[in-house]
Each structure stands twice: as C-alpha cells, then as structure tokens.
Amino acid sequence: MPQSAVSTAATDGGPPPAPARRRLLLTRSAAAAALLLSLAVGLTTEGPTAWGLLPIALYAVLALTGTSLVTVTALALVSAALVVLPAPGKAADVLGGSVTDPVTVIGLIIVFGAATGEVLRVTGVADTLVRSILRLTDGRGRTVLMYGMMLACLVLVASLGTLAGALAIAGPLLVPVAARTGFTRSATAATMFLGGCAGLALAPFAGSNIAIMDTADAGYLLYVAVGAGPLAVLSLLLAAVVVPWVQRRSAAQQDFYRPEEAAEEPSDAAGRPDRARRATWAFALTLVITVGYATVTRAGTTFPLIALPLLSAVTVAAAGLPPGRAVRAFLTGARRMLPMLALFWMLAALFGFIDLAKPYDVVLDTFGPELRHMSALPFALAVAALGWVGVPGATAAQVILIGEVFGPLGTELGIGPAAWVVVLLWASKADTYGPLPNANMVGTMGLARADRLPYLLGTGWALLIPACALYTVLLVFIL
C-alpha cells in the first residue's frame, strides 16, 4: 500500500497506532475499576465518608490522560452517584437542582459568550477594533507598533472572551502590518501571545474569570486589582524587553515574512465599513456601561446572561444586520459551546452527589486541629501551583474543581476573597505560559505563521517566573 494511503487510513477512521490502543485500553480499564470500586463503597459505607473524594480523584486522573473532558465528567458523575447510592427521589432532586446551579450558569455564560463573539465577527466589529488601533500606531516606529499590536489583541480577546477566536480574527490583519515593518514571525507571535493572554485575564465576561469571581466571592474591581491587573501590567512592561530579544535572535536566523505576505490586504469582513464603525462604537459604549454597572452593584453570576445578549442586540441594531442573519450568527456561536453547557451541568450534579457523601466534613474533623496551626501562605502557594499540573481542558471547570476541593480548607485557614482571586487566577492560567508548550502557544504560532516554538516558550517563561514572584509577594501582603 502506498505511504499516502497508509496515512489516509490512519487519519480517516483507520485503527489507531499500537501505543494509542494500549493507552486507551489502560484508561478504560482504570475507569471500569474505579466505577466498580465506587459501587462497592456505595454498598458498604454510609456518609459522611472520605470516599466521597474518589470521583474527584477519578476526574483528575482521567483528565490527565487526555480523555475528552465531557467523557471524564460523565464518568466522575456516575462514580459519585455510585458512592452515595441515593434514593431515586433524592437523585432526581440533585439532577434537577443542578439545572439552576451557579456552576451550570457559568456553562451557559460560556455559550452566550461564544454567541456574542460570532455576532462581533459577522458585524465587522472585531475587525474594526483591530484596524482602529493599528491606525493609531501608523508610522510611529516599531516599538509603538508592537504595543499597538499587543493592545489590539488585548482589546479583542477581552471583548470576545476567547483567545483562539479573537486571535484568528486579528492574525490576518496584524501579519501584513508586522511584515511591512520588518517584524519577524517569532516576534509577531510573541507580541500576539503576550497581548492576547493579558486580554484573556481581563475579559469581564469570560467563563473562567466569572468562575474565579464567583468561587472567590469577589467583584470585578477586586479581581482586576489583585489578579488580572498585575498580570496585564507585567505583560506590557516585559514586552519592551522580551519582544526585542526575540526579534534580534530570530532576525539573525532570517525568520522574516515573504514579500507577498507583506503585501496582503485582508478584505473588510463586514463589507460596510460605516455600519461596522457605528456598531463598534455602540458595542464599546454598551460594554463599558455593563461592566461599570456590574462593578458598582456587585452584580451576581447571572448578570452576564443579561449583559451578553444585550451586547449582541445593540451591536446587531447598530450594524443594521437583518434579523435572520443576526439570529443565525448568534445560534452558530452558541452551538459550538453546547457540549460545554452539558459539561458544567454534569459538574454541578457531580458536586451535588459529592455533597451527599460529606467528605469534607470528615477531612475537617480529622485534620481540623492541625490545619488551625498551619500557615495560610504555604497552603495558598501549594494550591496556586496546581496550575502547573492542572486538569487540562476547560479552565472554568478547573477553577470550580479547585474551589470545591480546597475551598473548605482555605476557609478554615482564613483565606479571604482577595487571596482566593490570586490563587485561582494563577492556578488556572499559569500553564498558559509554561513550563511546557501548550495549545495556546501552538495556536498563536499558527496564526502568526511562525514555526520556532522555543522563542514562544521562552516568552512564556520570561513572564512566568516574574509573575510567580509577583503573586507570591501579593499573597504575603494579603495574608
């Protein structure tokens, strides 16, 4: 069989390679053994029991094997139900109550956020935001352009609440400008990465950030003051050193764009620049008003469920988008994230069943006296360090999981909202910058048309190390 045919078979439904088959068999065997153990526990023990933590352990182990996070959550949910073996009525109460649980609401916010992002793309608002910022830097030198590119990525990611989706819009606009100015591919990727990640930390309606604020019982102002703000400022300051370093090193290796890439001129996404500009102003003004209102009033988790559709409606009206096309855009964006909604509903049900087993009561009764003599700082740093080996997949789910597992212990030690913001933000976002390559790095490289991973990994480490020191100092002062 020709080599091309072999490759096609492997990628179009053919049998997986032997190592993958062995890993799949091992994962399935471990899941089956855990479910059998859960059933045995359910038949032989009654709550409160520390065995209620078994589903959490199963969740973490299976997620680290690379199994689909939806599948992992479903298996952990079954495990939790088997551990407690509730009466049918009680099980129905848990499953039904999970529909309106704050955890499920965060999943719905993610769905609405994706829908709003698609509306911004279709109306040309996302495109206009990037172009407007780049016009401010035109002809002002490479350093100003670098910050303009960072700001464009930051604003777009913060507005859309998604890194990959926002940079996919910004990339085709930034690459020709960077190429004409002499930026290398690697320097462009580093600029987009630093700006985009800073924007993701600041995004007011991103699901992971909503999860942090909800878990820490903190408002957006506190979240920015002690969490996202320092990270964004540090990113902007370090870019003045890191990006020129990447530029010099990669330029020596002739890592430049081709002349035809510098000549590219992306077409106007909206097709009607005047309406796109009007929609952009309407969106920006509404965003400022909604974020300001949420900050002043300490609006709850459900506020984005009103704010995001409002942002979409105002943008659509200002752009003059036909109702049918507007509805299709909203539904197209929402449909992509429906599996996430199912995941968060299962997470809510998982925690509901775990609460019936009351494992945290057992842990606190057993270790409570020792915990009271433990310093809060080492505990906070240890939980924050979980970001280095955190559960891959949905960041918001990781935040909720960490809050569920370590929240009672943190409360026992007196860790307040400000400290929890720092801990949860770093626990959920540290692995974006390292220590290993990740999907965000690879995705940004692809959009910048770069292919030298060590430079972007070095960029991540250049931020990771001082950020660790910065957040440690913050925790020392807070605690």
Instruction: Summarize pLDDT for 236-262 with one digit per residue, the tens.
Output: 999 999 999 999 999 999 999 888 877
d(CA 473, CA 457) in angstroms, rounded, equals: 25
- Average pLDDT on 351-359 reads 87
Residues 320-327: what's their mean pLDDT?
91
pLDDT at 473 over 90: yes
What is the spatial distance between Cα 18 and Cα 206, in angstroms, rounded to a whole number? 39
Output the pTM of the full model. Answer: 0.81
Q: What is the pLDDT of residues 117-171, one digit of tens each?
A: 889 888 988 888 888 888 888 777 889 999 999 999 999 899 888 887 788 888 8
Segment 60-75, tens digit of pLDDT: 788 777 677 788 889 9
